[in-house]
Structures are given as C-alpha cells and as structure tokens.
Chain A
Amino acid sequence: MAGPDVDPFAGYRPDPFFCELTTQRPGDAGAPALIRGRIGMIGLDALRARAAAAENDLINLGITFTVYSQASAIDRILPFDCIPRILTAGEWRTLEAGVKQRVAALNLFLHDIYHDRKIVRDGAVPAELIFGNANYRPEMEGFPVRFGTYVHICGIDIVRDQKGRFCVLEDNARTPSGVSYVIENRHLMLRAFPDLMAGMRLKPVDDYGRRLREAMTEIAPEGVDDPQVVLLSPGIYNSAYFEHVFLSREMGVPLVEGADLTVENDRVYMRTTAGLRAVHTIYRRIGDDFLDPTVFRPDSMLGVPGLIAAWRRGNVTLANAVGTGVADDKAVYAYMPRIIRYYLAEDPILPNVETHICREADALAYTLENLDKLVVKPVGESGGYGITIGPRASAAELEVARASLLADPANWISQPVVSLSVAPTLTELGIRPRHLDLRPFAVTGRDTWVLPGGLSRVALKEGSLVVNSSQGGGSKDTWVLAEE
C-alpha cells in the first residue's frame, strides 16, 4: 500500500505520448505542478477512497445512463476519474476560435446545400456526396431558418496528437450529448476534492443552461414575444434521459415527450392541466427519423404527428434543424478544410486529422501503397462499421480492404493512426497514462458561444483508444485556466 509519503506519480510513464498534465506547456500558470503536488499530499489510498465515495454519490443522485440488455435495464454511471485535465488559457483561445469557425462553416454549408448549392456547382464538394446522402432532407430545400443557424447545438470531437497539436476527429451536428457531465463533473470535483481545486482560477461552466435558453428564445418564430421553449425527449427509458432532465432544469423549461404535444391547425401545443398551451421552440433530443410519423418513420411512437407541417409553416422552431446530419457525415468531414476555406476564406484553425479522400486518384494511390499504416474507413457507414486498422490487420484483411478500395474508391477515406494524447488516470495499478479526447459544446442562436472546456472522455483500458462510454470509457473534469 502506498502511503502519503510515496509519490503517486512514481510509476507514471506517459512517453511517447503527449501528456495533458506533465508535458511542459507555456502559460500553465504552475497549475499542473500544483495539482501533482496536491495529489501527492492526499496519497493514493485516500484518493481511491474519495473517488469511490464520489462515484457512489453519482449513483444516489441518479446521474446515470441506462444500459439495456434483454430483459433488464441497468443504471450505470459514467466512470469518473478524479484527476482533472487542464487546458491553458492560450490553448482554450485556439480551441474556442476553432470551434466557432467550424460551426460557422457548417451552418453556411447547410444553408448553401439547401438553397443555391454553389459549393457543388463550383465543384468544391462532389454532388453525389450530398444529394445521395441518407441524411440529406429534401424537405429542407429552400426553407429559411433564423440567422441561418441549422446547428444550434454542436459537439466537436477533438484529439491531440503526439506533438500536442489539436485536430478535429468528428463533427456532431445532430443531437450531440454529454454536456451534462461537463457540469456535473465540476460539481462533483467541488464536493469531493475541494482541496485539489482550492485557489484555482478556472473559467466557470455553469452558464450553459442560460446560454442555451437564450439561444432557444432567439430562434423562436418571429413575432413571438415570450416564446414557450420545451425540450423534447424520447422519455425515461432513453439512455440519455438524465441529460434531458438536466438540460430542462438548467433551462427552466418543461421536458416533454411526444405524447405531451399535439398539433392543431399547424400549430404545436402542449397538454397542460389548463388545456392546450402553444409551444414555439423545441429543443429536440430525438432524431429526424422519429420526429413526425406522418413524414418520416411511420412507426415512430416518439414523435408528434403534424410537427413537420407546423414547422414548415414557420409556427415552431426545431433545434437542431432537420437535415443537419448531412454535414457531420464522414465523407463530408473529409472536405471540411475545403468547406471552411470556401465559405470563410480562412485556413482552418483546427486541422482535420489528415484524411485521404480515395475518390481522388493521388489519395487512392497513396492509400493503397500505405495500407498497412493507415486506418481505412467507409464513408457511408457509422458506428465504426467496416473500418480496417492497417497496423493491426492481417495480410488477408488488408487484401480484402484493397479489393474494396479498388472496387469503389469513392466509398473510402483513409487516415493515419493518431497517437492520442494521454492524461494521468487513477487505475488499480496506480496513476497511469490513459488516452483521451475532448468534446467542446457550442451553442448558436444569433451568435456562437462555446462552453469553456468540454467533455474529456478517457479510455480506461490500458492502450485503448476507444473513449465511448459503452465501451469502458470514463470522463474527467476539464479545467480551463482563467486568463492571466
């Protein structure tokens, strides 16, 4: 057993990866060294006991997501690692600017493809990539949205490579989740580790609900003075239900289910004890397909019949807008640097992970030559389906990938394997390096605001690059140091 006199970081070897705590960075204000010292003072045993108590709090508070198997529903917590991830004020300035730029480009892109389609006519993005995309919604063509904002809530997955450079891994422009954990993790740190946090000057995370409510009010149909905002959730059996509860409380608006809403004369109402009350903005946490059984999936029990008609008449606003899924598609992702340059005439502040678009001859040739070093991904699929990781694939698997690439190059992209950065994480063996990513959240009504920090997801298994909660991922409190 390690006593307080043994440095808990004694066995910590982050090399060859970039470490979010121990790698020297300018402008860290001495915070990483201070945290390291304080963890040493607490000692490994006390750290473990307090972390366990903190996780128990999460269960009691019901800060959980639900995992369904055949007959049972189990409430699980997102495992919480008590060693914070620190971002300097300078790093955050870059991230914030990069996220805003990306959101601006996504919205301009969506507006364009549902209106004039200039980017297609100019040949910057292939037409079939957009119009052949399952997430392209013809219902959106020519439809105006306030302030040109389609993606009101955006989560952008960012990783850091071996050199400490931030790169975007994925855009989430549909119904990104996880923001509740950003705020709950901070509350948890304040309750369970006040001594780690004492005197730290951090950017606060408590403003999210107000900003979100403000944006939802801004985007309400014109002419409505005091719009009724609601959050539309699939209900208590949804795995992200806690987050829906959290957001409705933080915004101070009702959490409704589809059956709480009804449409009459193309207007949306909620059923209250005093009868029907008009609804003006719906922050929906259900996918496009389930919104309205009369337009999309007829078997959807979650949606509201007539909702799309009411929305097309301009009587209600949906956030995010319908049809944003075409912008966060893997194939479109590959074009994002070009999309940013096309609309904003700026270089991307946050680069993509280097991506080879195999529909282009050079990229295809490069990919085929370096198949054993690259990750090859099909563009149409989601959820990791069809991916070949070159360095871990057998010769036979590489041959299958080669054949697929040659058969239909346009369906493939390739990327180098990114050596994700690591952060010290409390494990059974002691404090060890574990890979992590970052998902900042941007809220856009008239303007874009980015919640300082974001969700740091950490792969708790040694060597693993998979940070998803469904596959053993956890999370950390993300500290953004205040400006000097």
Chain B
Amino acid sequence: MSRNMPLLARYAEGLFWMARYMERVENIARLVDVTQTFESPGHEAESWYALIRINADETFFSEARMQPDPEAVKHFYLLNRDNATSVPASIEAARTNARALRPLISTEMWMHLNVFHRDLMTIGEEDLQGDRLSRLCARIKEGVQTHTGITDGTFFRDQGWFFYQLGRLIERADQTTRLLDIRYHLLVPASSEERRVTELTQWGGVLRAAAGYHAFRRVAPVAFSAEDVVGFLLTDTAFPRSVLLCVEQLDWHLTQLRSRYGLRGTVPALERIEEVRSALLGQPVSRLIAGGLHEFLDAVQRDLNLLAQDIGTAFFRDWRPLAKPAPGSAPPDGTVAAARSPDLDPATSSVQTQVSARVG
C-alpha cells in the first residue's frame, strides 16, 4: 500500500488550526483557573486584568467598553463569542475546521468535537459563579484532553497527523510562555517575608495550572527559587508543557515531514527552530530573568509566530500574512504585530479564522 498519499494543502492547514484552537481552549481554562487561584482580597481587579494583558487583548477589551472587573474578564474569555481569544470563539473555529476535515479525521474525533462544541455553547453566566467556575475549567480541560486522547488513538498517522501536531505544539509552547508571564503582571507585597511567601504561592499556582506542580516538587530543591520554576517551565524536556520539549517535538515532526514525505519547504521552519532553541538554551536562566523575563517571553512568542508563518507559507493553500500592520508600526525585523481575527474577512476562507499572532 502506498504510504505516500498526497495531502491537500487545505487539509494540512485545517489540521494545523484545529489542533491550535483545541489546545487554546484548554489553555484558556488553565489561565482562568490559575487567575482565580491568585485572586487576592482587595486586588481582584488587578489579578483578572493580568489575563487581558498576557493575551494582548487590552485594545479589544477597552473597545468593547468593558470595565476591567473580574466578572467582565471572565465573561470576556468564557462567554464572549466576539472575542477571538475566548473559549466559545476558539471551539467554534475548531469545529469549523473539523467540519472541513471530516473526510480525513476519524468519525470519533468529529463526533466528540461536535458534542463538545454543543456542550460549550450552553455555558452561561451561572457557570461562572463561585465554586462553579473551577468546575467549569476542569470540564473544559477534560473535554480537550478527551479530544487529544481520541486523536492519539484513532487518527491515522500519515502526513496530516504531523501537521496536526505542529499546530498543537506551537500553541502549547506559546501558551506556556503566557502562563509564565502571568506571574510578571502580579503584584507582590513590599515586605520581604510576606513577599517570599506570596511569591511561593504564586509560583505554585503557575505550576499547578500547567499541571507541573508535583513533578516540579520531585525534581526541584526543597527551597526553590524563581529561577527553578522558570527553568522547569521553559527547558525541562521531561515536562510535557515545557517550551523546549515542544520545540524539540516540533523539530522532530518537521524532520519527519521532510524525510518521510519529501517536503522540502521545511527548511526555513527548521532554521527558525534552531533560533528558538538557542534562545532557550543560550544563557543561564538567572541571566535571562535579570535581562527581563517578560521581554524574553515576548521574543519567544514572536519567534513561534514566525515559525507558524514559515510553515504556512511553505505548505498551506490560503496562507497570507496575518494582518496588515498599521503604518509605521511594523517592527524592523518584519514581525507581524498583534493581529486579531476581526481584521480578517472570515468569508474568504472556510478554514481560517486565524488568531495566531498575539505578540504582547
């Protein structure tokens, strides 16, 4: 049997985006969950607004004339269908892609996504209240994990599977940097002992949201520091959500596409991966933090975005630069600045409702 079946460029693109959107749904739930954990009495608004900042959603949020209070932020990410970075918008986009992919994906993948989509469309204000919020986040995470498991167990592993993995890994790496960044935006008390305890609690929360707390406890020194946490989330290749593991897996998947399927267009993407890898490993974490963690994470997000572009221009049918940068605002290196799907005409393609570049 021929293993070298051609893959429609549109399918490759759809798989890439379906995977990204599903991964994003899970990570929104993780971010909301961790924010809830960080909510400190008297500072609720700041805690929740950090979510807006790490997603680079300030402009859209204020344009929508929403007050930066906790309820508005929760609503913005869990219920607002006009917000392209919300759970409902992401699951909608994932399902639209899945629909176009029905000839290719397994029936079980489609059926689960179809039912999960319908389930998420029934979320209401009441699900955001009190203890229900945390349960809602668990429900969303579990839904995506079910999707991941069904995909792992039923999706035929030819070319398409590799493109699916590329989308998923880029999104996961991106989301881990955002999860890490949330810590940067939080307030810490001035007194040193209080500060130490608060920081400890906050780092614990970040690790828990990334499902890495217990593993971290096992491998980290008893009296751990910020460096340990940052190093773990960025570079520990045993941790499933670490940026470096995602990057290594991206490398492997791209190499497979090249060697098994002869896709020569992988070169720019592979070179880009080399850059991200050296950025992650090129300096000790302490120096990286001293140089400004937030700026570093921004740069990683930008690189991941360029990586997605490299893949898109090489293999996808309808790929085009995500949005026209406002005159004068384009960074000198040609990076595409914070693009959002409302800038795109959703009618032009059945597949793309892209929201990839959200460089803070």
Interface residue ranges, A against B (CB under 8 Å): 60-62, 228, 235-237, 241-242, 245, 248-249, 254-257, 259-260, 270-274, 277
Query: Secondary structure of the A side of the interface?
Result: mixed
Contact B102–A62 (Cβ < 8 Å): yes
**B292 in contact (CB, < 8 A):** no
Distance, CA A241 to CA B6, complexed state (A): 22
Q: Which residues of B sit under 8 angstroms from A273, Cβ to Cβ?
A: 6-9, 12, 159, 163, 257, 261, 263, 315
CB 8 Å contact bits of B107-118 with A (1 = contact, 0 = none): 100110011000
Partner pick for A61 among B99, B100, B111, B263, CB 8 A cutoff = B111
Quick one: closest A residue to B160, CB to CB?
A273
Q: Which residues of B sit under 8 angstroms from A242, Cβ to Cβ?
A: 102
Q: Which residues of B sit under 8 angstroms from A259, Cβ to Cβ?
A: 10, 317-318
**B103 in contact (CB, < 8 A):** yes
Interface residue ranges, B against A (CB under 8 Å): 6-12, 96, 99-100, 102-103, 107, 110-111, 114-115, 159, 163, 257, 261-263, 315, 317-318, 350
Distance, CA A254 to CA B8, complexed state (A): 8
Partner pick for B103 among A61, A249, A270, CB 8 A cutoff = A249
Q: Given A271-B9, A273-B159, are A245 and B102 neighbors across the interface (CB < 8 Å)?
A: yes
Quick one: closest B residue to A256, CB to CB?
B8
Q: Which residues of A sit under 8 angstroms from B11, Cβ to Cβ?
A: 254
Contact A271–B10 (Cβ < 8 Å): yes
Contact A260–B9 (Cβ < 8 Å): yes
Q: Given A245-B102, A260-B317, are A277 and B110 neighbors across the interface (CB < 8 Å)?
A: no
Contact A274–B8 (Cβ < 8 Å): no
11 more contacts with CB within 8 A, not counting A245-B102, A254-B11, are: A236-B350, A260-B9, A271-B8, A271-B9, A271-B317, A272-B6, A273-B12, A273-B263, A274-B262, A274-B263, A277-B6
Contact A272–B8 (Cβ < 8 Å): yes
Minimal beta-carbon separation of B150 from chain A (angstroms): 14
Q: Which 3 pairs, one residue from A and one from B, show the smallest C-beta to C-beta distance?
A: A272-B6, A255-B103, A245-B102
Quick one: closest A residue to B10, CB to CB?
A260
Q: Which residues of B sit under 8 angstroms from A249, Cβ to Cβ?
A: 102-103
Q: List 19 A-B contacts (CB under 8 A).
A: A60-B114, A61-B107, A61-B110, A61-B111, A62-B114, A236-B96, A236-B100, A242-B102, A249-B102, A254-B11, A257-B350, A259-B10, A260-B317, A271-B8, A271-B317, A273-B6, A273-B8, A273-B263, A273-B315
Distance, CA A277 to CA B103, complexed state (A): 19
Q: Which residues of A sit under 8 angstroms from B10, Cβ to Cβ?
A: 257, 259-260, 271
Q: Which residues of A sit under 8 angstroms from B110, Cβ to Cβ?
A: 61-62
Of listed B103, B159, B263, residue having the most chain A CB within 10 A: B103
Quick one: closest B residue to A272, CB to CB?
B6
Distance, CA A270 to CA B111, complexed state (A): 28
Q: Given A60-B111, A60-B115, are A260 and B8 neighbors across the interface (CB < 8 Å)?
A: yes
Contact A272–B115 (Cβ < 8 Å): no
Q: Given A271-B9, A277-B6, are A237 and B350 neighbors across the interface (CB < 8 Å)?
A: yes
Q: Which residues of A sit under 8 angstroms from B159, Cβ to Cβ?
A: 273
Minimal beta-carbon separation of B46 from chain A (angstroms): 39
Contact B100–A254 (Cβ < 8 Å): no
Quick one: closest A residue to B163, CB to CB?
A273
Q: Which residues of A sit under 8 angstroms from B103, Cβ to Cβ?
A: 245, 248-249, 254-255
Contact A272–B7 (Cβ < 8 Å): yes
Minimal beta-carbon separation of A194 from chain B (angstroms): 20
Distance, CA A241 to CA B99, complexed state (A): 9
Q: Which residues of A sit under 8 angstroms from B114, Cβ to Cβ?
A: 60-62
Distance, CA A274 to CA B12, complexed state (A): 11
Quick one: closest A residue to B114, CB to CB?
A62
Quick one: closest A residue to B107, CB to CB?
A61
Q: Given A235-B350, A236-B350, A255-B103, are A62 and B8 neighbors across the interface (CB < 8 Å)?
A: no
Distance, CA A228 to CA B7, complexed state (A): 12
Distance, CA A248 to CA B12, complexed state (A): 17
Minimal beta-carbon separation of A248 from chain B (angstroms): 4
Minimal beta-carbon separation of A295 from chain B (angstroms): 24
Quick one: closest A residue to B264, CB to CB?
A274
Q: Which residues of A sit under 8 angstroms from B262, Cβ to Cβ?
A: 274
Distance, CA A237 to CA B99, complexed state (A): 10
Quick one: closest B residue to A235, CB to CB?
B350
Q: Which residues of A sit under 8 angstroms from B107, Cβ to Cβ?
A: 61
Distance, CA A103 to CA B272, complexed state (A): 59
Distance, CA A287 to CA B129, complexed state (A): 52
Quick one: closest B residue to A244, CB to CB?
B103
Quick one: closest B residue to A61, CB to CB?
B111
Contact B102–A274 (Cβ < 8 Å): no
Distance, CA A273 to CA B100, complexed state (A): 17
Quick one: closest B residue to A241, CB to CB?
B99
Quick one: closest A residue to B100, CB to CB?
A236
Distance, CA A273 to CA B315, complexed state (A): 5
Distance, CA A249 to CA B109, complexed state (A): 15
Minimal beta-carbon separation of A64 from chain B (angstroms): 10
Contact A274–B111 (Cβ < 8 Å): no
Quick one: closest B residue to A254, CB to CB?
B8
Distance, CA A271 to CA B13, complexed state (A): 12
Of listed B10, B107, B257, residue having the most chain A CB within 10 A: B10
Minimal beta-carbon separation of A324 from chain B (angstroms): 25
Quick one: closest A residue to B315, CB to CB?
A273
Q: Which residues of B sit under 8 angstroms from A270, Cβ to Cβ?
A: 6, 8
Contact B9–A272 (Cβ < 8 Å): yes
Of listed B99, B257, B261, residue having the most chain A CB within 10 A: B99
Distance, CA A412 to CA B110, complexed state (A): 48
Quick one: closest B residue to A261, CB to CB?
B8
Quick one: closest A residue to B9, CB to CB?
A271
Contact B6–A274 (Cβ < 8 Å): yes
Distance, CA A249 to CA B101, complexed state (A): 11
Minimal beta-carbon separation of A246 from chain B (angstroms): 9
Quick one: closest B residue to A270, CB to CB?
B8
